[in-house]
């Protein structure tokens, strides 16, 4: 199996990992609604029926291009294989006042949370965040009128009819921002993937080296009171991420819709780095990327506290962490210690944030 070295991330990828990395969250496509069908020029010609007159029917309208949000999708990968999406054309009208068949609409399913923008101007056309919501991005052309439409007292035998309206191609830019109540952030190997796998049915790749997570992982968390929230494991940030270094900068935008950030700090006994310095690195990257994101509510979590030395390390830092953020706790995803307590704390903070949103709306 071939190996490729990424100089930006200082990490070796094999072809399997590169395949897994094909998380598509931006795509440019061309769309074209259906053309309208032509009107018909026809005259009634039936035996024993004098003065038949015009009976040309109208052409059918062209089909629309419709985007539909689907919460079961989490990537735009399905759209990368085809660059042009066309709706059905309307059929031409026929004699006996028969209207042409309307062109078939084309419904394109996209993940909930996808922004639809005009490629040239980057104007936002729609932001589909709710499951099953639809947006008609291009209307089909109108069908042309048949000659029966032009009959009058002065013109009993019109030969005039309209051609169907033609449509033009549009270039769209689709940008996905995952919808998650909670974004789990931290440096590589902070324990984010293990935590997500512990609290949900998500099964991210877990290994003992940086950049194990190459795509965001979504997991639905259900508590004992049957309340739920969605958590996203955001690939690890590194120092300089806002300048394009590492993998995390590509996925920072997926934290922008989250109400709450859960910031994991590696407190394992074999980690010689200062957890406070690691905290500052991630906070700096958030601030450089977005001031709004930097100001988002956070819970600080000391992870990998599953060894007596790690517990002592956390106790030594606890007071300083609480000076930064009163929401501080420790967990061991390996043993499960502290995980349930953290989940209820997350729910409590989310409930407060949702109540504040309702009050301000």
pLDDT band at 237 (very low <50, low <70, confident <90, very high): low
The band of 208, judged by pLDDT with boundaries at 50, 70 and 90, is very low
pLDDT band at 147 (very low <50, low <70, confident <90, very high): very high
Give me the percent of the chain exceeding a pLDDT of 90: 49
For residues 293 and 252, is the Cβ–Cβ distance under 8 A? Answer: yes
Please state the φ and ψ torsions of residue 16, each to the nearest 5 degrees.
-65, -45
Report how far residue 198's alpha carbon sits from residue 262's, in angstroms, rounded to the nearest whole number.
15
pLDDT > 70 in the chain, percent: 84
Q: In what order do the strands lie in the sheet with 260-266?
A: 217-222, 228-233, 182-185, 260-266, 298-303, 328-330
* Structure tokens, 188: 């590589």
Whether CATH 3.40.50.10800 fits 26-176: no
**CATH code 2.70.210.12 region(s) in the chain:** 26-176
Whether the predicted pLDDT of 16 surpasses 50: no
Q: Give the CA count within 13 Å in the CB-facing half-sphere of 46.
A: 8
Give tens-digit pLDDT for 161-199: 999 999 999 999 998 887 788 989 888 888 888 888 888
Q: Tell me, what's the pLDDT at 271?
A: 85
Of the given ranges (36-45, 100-109, 290-299), which has the lowest mean pLDDT?
290-299
Pick the CATH number of 182-360 from 3.90.1300.10, 3.40.50.720, 3.40.190.10, 3.40.50.300: 3.40.50.300
Own/partner contacts of 248-254, CB < 8 Å, gap of 24 or more, are: 248/285, 249/285, 249/289, 250/25, 251/25, 251/216, 252/285, 252/286, 252/289, 252/290, 252/293, 253/25, 253/175, 253/177, 254/25, 254/176, 254/177, 254/178, 254/180, 254/183, 254/216
Residue 239 is predicted with a pLDDT of: 60
* Range(s) of the chain covered by CATH 3.40.50.300: 182-360
Determine the straight-line distance between the first and last CA of the chain, rounded to whole angstroms: 55
Average pLDDT of the residues of the chain: 84
């Amino acid at each position: 199996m071939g190996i490729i070295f990424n100089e930006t991330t200082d990490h070796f990828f094999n072809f399997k990992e590169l395949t897994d990395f094909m998380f598509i969250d931006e795509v440019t496509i061309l769309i074209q609604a259906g053309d309208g069908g032509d009107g018909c020029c026809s005259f009634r010609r039936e035996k024993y029926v004098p003065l038949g007159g015009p009976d040309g029917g109208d052409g059918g309208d062209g089909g629309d291009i419709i985007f539909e949000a689907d919460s079961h999708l989490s990537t735009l990968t399905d759209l990368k294989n085809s660059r042009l999406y066309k709706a059905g054309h309307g059929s031409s009208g026929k004699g006996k006042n028969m209207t042409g068949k309307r062109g078939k609409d084309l419904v394109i399913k996209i993940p909930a949370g996808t922004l639809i923008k005009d490629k040239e101007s980057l104007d936002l056309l729609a932001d589909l965040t709710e499951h099953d919501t639809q947006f008609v991005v291009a209307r089909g052309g109108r069908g042309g009128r048949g000659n029966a439409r032009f009959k009058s007292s002065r013109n009993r035998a019109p030969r005039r009819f309209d051609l169907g309206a033609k449509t033009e191609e549009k270039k769209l830019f689709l940008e996905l921002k995952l919808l998650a109540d909670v974004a789990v952030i931290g440096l590589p190997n902070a324990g984010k993937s293990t935590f997500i796998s512990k609290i949900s049915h998500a099964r991210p790749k877990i290994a003992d080296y940086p950049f194990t997570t190459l795509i965001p992982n979504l997991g639905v968390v259900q508590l004992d009171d049957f309340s739920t929230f969605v958590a996203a494991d955001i690939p690890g940030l590194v120092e300089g991420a806002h300048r394009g270094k590492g993998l995390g900068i590509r996925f920072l935008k997926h934290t922008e819709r989250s109400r709450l950030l859960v910031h994991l700090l590696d407190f394992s006994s074999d980690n010689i780095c200062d957890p406070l310095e690691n905290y500052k690195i991630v906070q700096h990257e958030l601030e450089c990327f977005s001031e709004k994101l930097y100001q988002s509510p956070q819970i600080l979590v000391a992870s990998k506290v599953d060894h007596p030395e790690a517990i002592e390390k956390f106790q030594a830092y606890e007071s300083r962490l609480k000076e930064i953020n009163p929401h501080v706790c420790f967990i061991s995803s390996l043993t499960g210690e502290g995980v349930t307590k953290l989940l209820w704390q997350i729910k409590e903070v989310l409930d407060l944030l949702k109540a504040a949103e309702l009050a301000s709306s």
